[in-house]
Amino acid sequence: MISMKKRAVTAAALAVAVGLPLAGNAVAGPHDVPGTAGAATVTDTPEPTRPAFYEPPASIPSTPGTIIRSEPAPLLLDPFDLSSSVVTATRVMYSSTDGDGTPIAVTGTVFVPKTAYSGSSARPLISYAPGTQGMGDKCAPSRQMESLVEYEGIGITPNVARGYAVAITDYQGLGTPGTHSYMARKPQGQAVLDMARAVQNLQGSGITKANPVGLMGYSQGGGAAAAAAELAGSYAPELNIKGSAIGAPPADLAKVGANIDGTTYSLFALFATLGVATAEHVDTKPHFNAQGQELASKVEGDCVFDLFSYANLDSSKYTTSGKKLKELLDEEPFKTAIADQRIGKLKPNAPVQINHSIGDDVIPYGVGKQLGSDWCDKGTRVTFNAGVVPTHVGGMPGHIAKSMVFFEDRFAGRNQLSSCWRL
């Protein structure tokens, strides 16, 4: 049993892994869509009882960004509510859509500073996409902030200190019923965009459509922010997005999966297999033997803290064919499902910054650089920064620091130098 102190240290050390529907109301149907009432998991593993706040209503508003419910957000590190003098923290449930356009309920947390913003624009809003939390509902950032220490605090804090409002989504199925659609491009990107819409609809936030918006994330969050940047022009064109700061983006899951299968980060490959299978309606059961199905069922409830329990896993022992997971993902039906998550096929609607460590041991540096090149080819203004601090975890602090400079420039109407000439 891992102590709370050890969990907190582990979280900090890991840092991360990695058209609108018609107006009206949608009722949860028989397809077990994550984020709808009564949804089952992809492995049919029963989920533990969740707090009432995280149970979606039977009828979910199909206008994305609608606030379903809200309450003051309890924070573990602030049990006496001392921070309330400088920031308002609110837990929200809002409507979004999954990859098929089905209305879903997503939860998250909104931070609004009480101090005036001293910049030249209205107070900016950062829609913050979190890095890998896990698959179990207990792993949701909004729940971690209440019961443990949420490592994304190292990225949220400097944004709030600059006077920015920050909204961090829990994503589809993380906290709410059903399997979290981990690494699935559309539901992750749409959850990030709808989080920004939800803040505009949150009574007392002071954020309107006139406030500038920035998108930010690292690893899984980098992929979600990148997907949001691509989808914004068609999915949420009314958002006043000024730029996106993207760190270590898993833009090509095939290459990421091949890199981490059988390593310290094997758990992340398992997360992605279940998450993408959920979003793309792939039945995983025929592809895993009895041991594999038991493993997948266990993974459904795991968090990033459990990473080392799966280190150097021989995935071939768990597949029906005896092939390793990276080989399985290169065959149908997984191959097409993985390919559909590729980021870089669409043009972001605002300048972007990509930060990626050359020595990243989880998401290959070449994946982030290729994303920059793909976007440059589409006419996007891309600033690409190659980090020198090794490892995936080591690259996060540099990403945060560079993001702060990027947003200061963008919210002041300035551009950073384009890197397209060298990508």
For residues 93 and 144, membership in a common domain is answered with: yes
Whether 238 contacts 193, CB under 8 Å: no
Whether 39 contacts 33, CB under 8 Å: yes
The CATH number of whichever domain residue 96 belongs to comes to 3.40.50.1820
pLDDT at position 84: 74
Residue that finishes a domain, picked among 274, 308, 339: 339
pLDDT band at 26 (very low <50, low <70, confident <90, very high): very low
The helix/strand count (H/E) of the chain reads as: 12, 11
> Between 148 and 399, whose confidence is greater?
399
Whether 2 contacts 42, CB under 8 Å: no
pLDDT at position 31: 52
For residues 95 and 200, membership in a common domain is answered with: yes
Task: Evaluate if residue 28 carries a pLDDT over 90.
Answer: no
Beta bridge partners of 88: 112
Residue that finishes a domain, picked among 297, 319, 339: 339
- Kindly state whether residue 346 falls inside one of the protein's structural domains: no
Range of the domain at 373: 4-251+351-422
For residues 144 and 233, membership in a common domain is answered with: yes
Residue with tokens 């600059």: 162
For residues 179 and 237, membership in a common domain is answered with: yes
Alpha carbon of residue 18 to chain centroid:
9
Cα-based distances in Å from 217 to 161, 223, 331:
17, 7, 30
Task: Evaluate if residue 358 carries a pLDDT over 60.
Answer: yes
For residues 185 and 315, membership in a common domain is answered with: no
Task: Evaluate if residue 16 carries a pLDDT over 60.
Answer: no
Task: Evaluate if residue 146 carries a pLDDT over 90.
Answer: no
pLDDT at position 96: 98
Total structural domains in the chain? Answer: 2
Tokens of 31: 């397809």
For residues 127 and 270, membership in a common domain is answered with: no
Tokens of 27: 């009722």
pLDDT at position 170: 98
Contact residues for 160 (Cβ-Cβ < 8 A; gap 6+) = 87, 111, 113, 166
The total of other beta-carbon atoms located within 10 Å of residue 204's CB is 9
pLDDT at position 86: 86
Query: How do residues 157-185 score in pLDDT, each as one tens digit?
Result: 999 999 999 999 999 999 999 999 999 99
Contact residues for 80 (Cβ-Cβ < 8 A; gap 6+) = none
Rounded (10°) angle between helices 153-161 and 395-411: 30
Sign of the Cα pseudo-torsion (41, 183, 91, 4, in order): positive
Sign of the Cα pseudo-torsion (301, 89, 189, 305, in order): negative
For residues 313 and 370, membership in a common domain is answered with: no
| Segment 64-79 mean pLDDT | 86
Query: How do residues 252-297 score in pLDDT, each as one tens digit?
Result: 999 999 999 999 999 999 999 999 999 999 999 999 999 999 999 9
Tokens of 365: 């540096």
The CATH number of whichever domain residue 316 belongs to comes to 1.10.260.130
For residues 260 and 148, membership in a common domain is answered with: no
Alpha carbon of residue 385 to chain centroid:
21
Contact residues for 363 (Cβ-Cβ < 8 A; gap 6+) = 18, 219, 248, 249, 250, 256, 259, 356, 392
CA-based max dimension of the chain: 60
Residues in the chain: 423
Q: What is the pTM of this model?
A: 0.92
Tokens of 236: 């949420």
Tokens of 151: 């490592």
Task: Evaluate if residue 24 carries a pLDDT over 50.
Answer: no
- Kindly state whether residue 399 falls inside one of the protein's structural domains: yes
Q: Is the peptide bond before 158 cis (omega within 30 degrees of 0)?
A: no
| Segment 319-341 mean pLDDT | 96
For residues 402 and 358, membership in a common domain is answered with: yes
What is the C-alpha to C-alpha distance for residues 279 and 329, in angstroms, rounded to an integer?
A: 15
For residues 48 and 132, membership in a common domain is answered with: yes
What is the C-alpha to C-alpha distance for residues 275 and 411, in angstroms, rounded to an integer?
A: 34
Rg over alpha carbons for the chain, rounded to the nearest Å, is 20
For residues 116 and 175, membership in a common domain is answered with: yes
Task: Evaluate if residue 4 carries a pLDDT over 50.
Answer: no
Cα-based distances in Å from 51 to 54, 81, 177:
6, 21, 11
| Segment 6-33 mean pLDDT | 40
